Amino acid sequence: MHNVTSATRLPDVLPLIHGDLRVQMFATCTGSPPFLAGVPELLAEAGLPMPPWEQAEETEFDLAIATRATAANRAQFAAS
């Protein structure tokens, strides 16, 4: 999540996958200080583990849901 506006989109998606035991959910922040205010609090409220951005960039995912297209482009995806 880059800013609070992006983070407020999270409640639109979480109910769709929250109960699916096949899905492990994480959230992370880019850490851009000018935009970060309130984002960690919103993510903590959602009860999601929050690895640092650098760790998330290095982690391999099967699926990534991003609130900004540029964040999705930086995700590492597992080979099929």
Return the beta strands (E) in 2-77 as ranges: 60-61, 76-77
Q: What is the pLDDT of residues 10-52, one digit of tens each?
A: 778 788 887 888 888 888 877 666 667 777 787 788 788 888 8
Q: What is the pLDDT of residues 2-16, one digit of tens each?
A: 677 777 777 787 888
18-46 burial, b at 16+ Cβ within 10 Å, e below that, comes to: eeeeeeeeebbbbeeeebeeebbebbeee
Q: How many other C-beta atoms lie within 10 A of the C-beta of residue 11?
A: 11
Global pTM exceeds 0.85: no
**Res 76: pLDDT:** 53
**Res 80: pLDDT:** 47
